[in-house]
Amino acid sequence: MDPFLDKYLPWFILKEIPEIGNRLYKQLIHRFISPENVLTAPKKKLETVFGISSRVIKEIHRCKSYLPQARAELDQIYSRQIKIVTLTDPAYPTLLKEINDPPPYLTYVGTLDTTAPCISIVGSRNATAYGLNTAEHLSFSMASNGFQVVSGMARGIDTAAHKGALNASGKTVAILGSGLNLIYPKENKRLFSQIQSTGTIMSEFKINCIPFPRNFPIRNRVIAGLSTGTLVVEAEKRSGSLITARLAGEYNREVFAVPGSIKSPKSRGTHSLLKQGAKLVENQMDILDELHQFVHVQAQVQADGKLCGNTEASERKTKKRTPLMDKNQRLVYKHLDSYPKHIDKIIESTRMASGFVTASLTDLELNGLAQRHPGNYFSLSEE
């Protein structure tokens, strides 16, 4: 048998057996050390495993019937040069192994780094400009301080988090709710390639699995399980990000939340987390103070003898230039904030003619000081 198949086929056969979920799979490996031992174990020994049913034992003993499916999946993985890490592999993420129902194995592309700590940054798919810029800035800062930024490669906050880490020349980990042969959403094809070249893209689903809605709560436990802490930037009351935060709390990991406007529904979920005891984040130091034992800042001795870490470099990069504006632009700029505002509201609040407001907004947008959104909404640009 091919060494690749010889190593991984038993893992895939055991996974194909109905009613063997991740929790029972972990118990079986803990009891029998390897899937090969599970598949050849006598009935009496299998019966000693807590929660196993006679039907599952029967299916284990007829495991050869699951060989074709397992072999077909492995053949596709091998042909696409996708890598596998199993629960008993030293390279399997240590923190993820601690949860009750870790994936028995993960398929991945890129480079697996088990030395650098991870922090997950998650939030709304339909994020505001404030949320996107905040996620990207905090991700840049955490990556600059040696953390791998974990997220789900979804639209919105997830995408901003991955981009922030990449902009810092740091590492980021994407956990997919689909198989590795399907990039979702499609517009993140370039982001997929960028992450693959410097970080890791992982999935516990079959290679051609489409992104079923039920997959995302399942993958959220991996995001939380991998990480020392989870940061929620924007989330509505009913949000997958809140599931990730809840799981992080259950795993005894730190939970962080960024406050937002009391008028924004995108902040209701994060404010709910804060009421429940999540740590409020105004800047990266609020996170670094809690996770200080994981920080790996590479400080440089400057000519003046002072130490300058990557956090300061991040702040210099994101520091906004002083706006240079005429009287009309200053007035319009004064009535903008981080949350998009309709042009009619801006005209009403500035008491200026609509033509002057439109011209000023165009100038501010061209100068990188304002950001236009669909439907004639405008906000401050935080780039």
> Of 61-65, 271-275, 322-326, 329-333, where does mean pLDDT reach its minimum?
322-326
Question: Would you give the distance in Å from CA 252 to the centre of its chain?
Answer: 18
Mean pLDDT check: name the lowest of 131-135, 301-305, 365-369: 301-305
pLDDT computed for residue 21 by the predictor: 94
Six-digit token string for 295: 């920080």
DSSP state of 46: H
At residue 263, does pLDDT exceed 90? no
Which amino acid, 43?
K
Query: What's the CA gap between 46 and 58, in Å, rounded?
Result: 10
Query: What DSSP string runs through 290-307?
Result: HTGGG-----EE-TTS-E
pLDDT at 337 > cutoff 90: no
Residue found under tokens 């700590």: 117
d(CA 261, CA 267): 7
pLDDT digits (tens, 9 = 90+) for 303-312: 333 333 344 4
Q: What's the CA angle centered on 116, arms 112 and 122, to 5 degrees?
A: 85
Tokens standing for residue 49: 């495993």
Residue 30 has pLDDT above 70, yes or no: yes
pLDDT tens-digit profile of 64-108? 999 999 999 999 999 999 999 999 999 999 999 999 999 999 999
Domains of the chain: 3-79 (1.10.150), 118-303+308-314 (3.40.50.450), 327-380 (1.10.10.10)
Per-residue pLDDT for 382 more than 80? no
DSSP E strands, the chain: 83-86, 105-110, 118-122, 148-151, 172-175, 200-203, 229-232, 254-257, 279-280, 300-301, 307-308, 341-342, 370-373, 377-380
Distance of CA 62 to the CA centre of its chain: 39
pLDDT tens for each residue of 348-357: 999 999 989 9
Alpha helices, DSSP H, located in the chain: 3-16, 22-32, 35-39, 43-46, 54-61, 67-79, 94-97, 129-144, 157-167, 189-198, 215-226, 240-250, 268-275, 284-290, 310-318, 327-334, 343-350, 354-366
pLDDT at residue 119, rounded to an integer: 97
Q: How confident is the model at residue 27 (pLDDT cuts 50, 70, 90)?
A: very high
Per-residue model confidence as pLDDT tens digits over 247-260: 999 999 999 999 99
- Collapsing DSSP to helix, strand or coil, 55 comes out as helix
C-alpha 176/C-alpha 219 separation (Å) is 7
pLDDT digits (tens, 9 = 90+) for 163-198: 999 999 999 999 999 999 999 999 999 999 999 999
Q: Is the pLDDT of residue 300 over 90?
A: no
Q: What is the pLDDT of residue 289?
A: 87
Predicted confidence at residue 323, as pLDDT, reads 54
Q: What is the pLDDT of residues 217-255, one digit of tens each?
A: 999 999 999 999 999 999 998 888 999 999 999 999 999
User: How far, in whole angstroms, is CA 204 from its chain's centroid?
Assistant: 15
Q: How many CA atoms lie within 13 A of 36 on its CB side?
A: 6
b/e sequence 245-258, b meaning 16+ C-beta within 10 Å: bbbbbebebbbbbb
In whole angstroms, what is the distance from residue 72 CA to residue 75 CA? 5
- Report residue 217 as tokens: 């709560």
CA-CA distance, 176 to 152, in Å (whole number)? 6
* Separation CA 331–CA 242 (nearest Å): 38
Considering the chain, what percentage of its residues have pLDDT values greater than 90? 73
Instruction: Tokens for 329, please give them.
Output: 């632009």
Kindly indicate the confidence band of residue 325, based on its pLDDT and cuts at 50, 70 and 90. Answer: confident
Per the structure block, which two tokens stand in for 353? 């003619």
Give the residue-averaged pLDDT of 8-19.
95
What share of the chain has pLDDT > 70, as a percent? 91
**Per-residue pLDDT at 147 exceeds 80:** yes
Query: What does DSSP say about strands 105-110 and 83-86: parallel, antiparallel, or unpaired?
Result: antiparallel
Alpha helices in 187-239 (DSSP H): 189-198, 215-226
24 and 51 Cβ atoms separated by less than 8 Å: yes
Strand partners, 255: 230
Distance of CA 249 to the CA centre of its chain: 16
Looking at residue 181, what DSSP letter applies? T
What's residue 316's pLDDT?
42
Per-residue model confidence (pLDDT) at position 327: 85
Q: How far is it, in rounded angstroms, from Cα 3 to Cα 174?
A: 28
Mean pLDDT of 359-367: 88
- The count of residues in the chain is 383
